[in-house]
Amino acid sequence: MIKPHGSDRLDPRFVYDTERHHALSREAESLPSLLLNSAAAANAVMLGAGYFNPLAGYMNKADALSVAATLHTTGGLFWPVPVVNLTSDAAAIRGAKRIALRDPNVPGNPVLAVQTVEAIEEFSEAEITTMAEQIFRTLDPKHPGVSTFTGLGRIVVSGPVEVLNFSYFQQDFPDTFRTAVEIRNEIAERGWQKVVAFQTRNPMHRAHEELCKMAKEAVGADGILIHMLLGKLKAGDIPAHVRDAAIRKMVELYFPANTVMITGYGFDMLYAGPREAVLHAVFRQNCGCTHLIVGRDHAGVGSYYGAFDAQTIFDEQVPAGALAIQIFRADNTAYSKKLHRVVMMRDAPDHAQEDFVQPSGTKVREMLAAGQDLPIEFARPEVARILMAYYQEEAKQ
């Protein structure tokens, strides 16, 4: 199986040893506490699950600045996005060597992890601004990633973590949330050698379904990992439980048996376009995948990124050998009225726009809310019915 990023073996930061887990839980009761923001909590979950291998914890100021500027830590590890614990108030933990990190997303704010504090430092306003521009390629406050990142605080608390639970993800998505360790184990159990990963924060329409099948065939993969984001999204995005149900129905009815793993991961969407595409590649490699589908405007939002910037970053900013995972470069996919099948648009140069079935997102939402069937060429009817029920319920509120 493909090696994890940066090491020969996966080293998740979750504490699996029962005795150590109990000891940390007891210790946490007497430690100074820091209530995390959702972004820092999601980073802890990803560290615990092994997705952020080989990182042992949160980056310090120098590493965060270096990663934002060069995609490398000060020690030379290739990494695309700072993994930080930012806060606006560190008064309660000043001078502490170990602290309890509390979960903002679970009632009662239980302890999510215990952190050994290596440094408590502060970014200047200019440094936060520079990092935001380097990560997101914009400082527009309307960009959801920019507004989130610049509002997390200026104080960075660095050091290794020992993670005690996976926040709300295991409880809310017991059939879907999986750690990188669990995904690797299942890939091994299935005997898969080549695995192509598909990232999604949306329901999958007909073109996404066919894209996964195209990619599997093109790279000769044994199976497909459909890997959905389960964390926080921007307003207007479809909730994870609705996406989960829709994707499961699609796979049940329209994929050959035992060719797809449906899983999810506990992270908040960054909407960082090219940088986030590279991060997706890093943690899919840690899952054991050999290929990642990178499509048009991958991890983008609005019109902040060029259509294929998330592909060209792998040529321009990812050094040779930095990642073992390979990229399957996809174009926009849509149903061709001429060919009576889904194609990648680049493979149909003789087509005009009207030769494709490609309703706008706004039109799709309006039709679903009104109880109107979507074109069968665009969405499987069983999937559309799940989405229709959601949008009709939303329309009532």
User: Side chain identity at 124, as an amino acid letter?
Assistant: S
User: Side chain identity at 222, as an amino acid letter?
Assistant: D
For residue 72, list its beta bridge partners. Answer: 78
In order of 215, 308, 330, 334, 356, the CA distances from 351 in angstroms are 22, 20, 18, 11, 8
d(CA 74, CA 331): 35
201 is catalytic: yes
Q: What is the CB neighbour count within 10 angstroms for residue 288? A: 25
140: CB partners within 8 A, 6+ apart = 146, 304
Please identify which of the residues 98, 201, 248, 365 carries the catalytic annotation: 201
Does residue 54 have a cis peptide bond before it, meaning omega lies within 30 degrees of 0? yes
Q: Which residue has the tokens 């009532």?
A: 396
Which DSSP state fits 72? B
What is the DSSP secondary-structure string of 23-87?
HHHHHHTTS-EEE--HHHHHHHHHHHTTTTTT--EE--HHHHHHHHHHSB-TT--B-SS----EE
Q: Which helix (H) or strand (E) holds 341?
A: strand 341-344
d(CA 293, CA 299): 12
Q: In this structure, are residues 166 and 266 in contact, taking their beta carbons and an 8 Å threshold?
A: yes
Token pair of 312 as six digits: 């060209």
Q: In this structure, are residues 199 and 208 in contact, taking their beta carbons and an 8 Å threshold?
A: no
Please identify which of the residues 109, 202, 248, 385 carries the catalytic annotation: 202
Token pair of 56 as six digits: 């042992």
Which DSSP state fits 88? S
d(CA 397, CA 383): 22
9 is catalytic: no
d(CA 110, CA 168): 11
Catalytic residues: 201-202
